[in-house]
Structure 1
Amino acid sequence: MFWVFCCSCFSRPSQLAQRKFYMSSCSHIYCERCINHTHPYCRRCCVSIRVIACDSQMPSEVRSVFCDATEKVANLIKALEYQAGQRFGLMSHLRGSEQKYNSAKAYIRDAEIKYSNMKQKLDSSLRKIKELELANETLKKQVQKMRQVTPSPSPPSDSGQWFTHMNFPTPQSRRSVIDTPSAPFTPRNCYSQFRNTPTPTMTTPFVSSKTPPLLDPCSSRYSVNRNVPGFTPPQKTMELLTILNKKRELNLS
């Protein structure tokens, strides 16, 4: 330990092996020749001091000062690395917590904005509901007043009187109307009375004065079978009558 020397004569223990060295309470080192054991006095600090011998009997806290510093440095480096790792872990945790806090703060801010908007919509909806309820009550009162003012129509006493003025054809009348030809037709056994008489020319063959004229089946004024519901005469009635008239003329001739 070359750094150990006497603060008064600057002698070192390696030079004077038989000389003892002492350490003062003010952390100064003196050899036994330079220190007064009766009245210890520090020549650097100029104060009275207490001294202890620098040997194996010195206390551990004083002995640690004279130990090799390189060993302590290695231990200190390990301690510093461990402490730095701990600090790094703590700082990373704090940074993550800060990020989570910031994200939670932003989420809460957005949630508050959404909550305020939803609250406004809810308030407006409640106001509209109240207005509609008031309008509904007003309409109900108006309907009640109208019911009180306007009397309700009484139902008919006899439900059958609605059908008294309706004429439905009977099956016999329907059959007679369907079976009645639209023009008179002469049977073959009566052809003899017409053999010597000329056949009159008629614009509408086989149409007598008593028989109503043939009309368009789609016409609304067609009255031959209007009492028969669902009855529609054939569309080519005139053509069929013309053909029958020609056959009759041939038979007569």
Structure 2
Amino acid sequence: MFWVFCTSCFTRPSQESNRKFFVTNCCHVICEQCFNKEQPMCRRCATPCKVILCNSEMPNEIKELFSDANEKASTFLKVLDYQNTQRFKLMSYYKINAQKYSRAKPIFKDLEMKYYSLEKKNASLVQKCFSLENHIEELNRKLGWYASKSFHPSTSYKSPFQQTSFHDSPDEALNTMSQNFARSQATPYSSMNMGSMFGNSRVKNASPFSSESSHTPLINSLSSNSSLRNKIHSFTPPSKTIELLSQLNKSRRPF
């Protein structure tokens, strides 16, 4: 330890002299000849001080000041190398993650746009699905309505007598019956029963009109009740029809 010397007389320690050295609390080294034990003063600072004898019994923190710097340096280098290695690994990890993030960022944005697009399409398809379900329910209701109407028809064939309103005047009723009879000539009477013509469901086995009577004008056929009864065998007209025929005959007398 060539750098250890007395800061007052600059004497170095040696085995020949066996001079003792002290370390002050102000970190100055003083030999025993320069140190006055009765009045402990640091000649370098000229202030009162406390001293510690330089030997193997010094505290460890004081011993480190007098240890070999090469040994400390090698230890410090090892420590520094280890810390640098750890630091390099950590920085490499951060660098790789930063590169991955920079590469994944545009891909993530693209996937995010696709996600929002698919979300909108999904909402549109869900709305369309609800609309189709409502449409199917509406079609099912209509199908059930038509099915019920097919077994219970609300409309049936009406004869020229049924199509005539009893609230009309005799002339209007006669004219309406003539027009209805002319339209009904296109359908043979043999294909219809008399119950459907006169609206009476109880009459089912009435005899049809003859082929000759289909070409006879309605005005001539309505001239009398007897002629109508001769053309429709085994059938008694309803009471309202008889009243209508009687009113028509009365209305024709003044003319």
TM value normalised by structure 1:
0.49
The higher radius of gyration belongs to 1
TM value normalised by structure 2:
0.48
The structure where helix makes up a greater share of residues is: 2
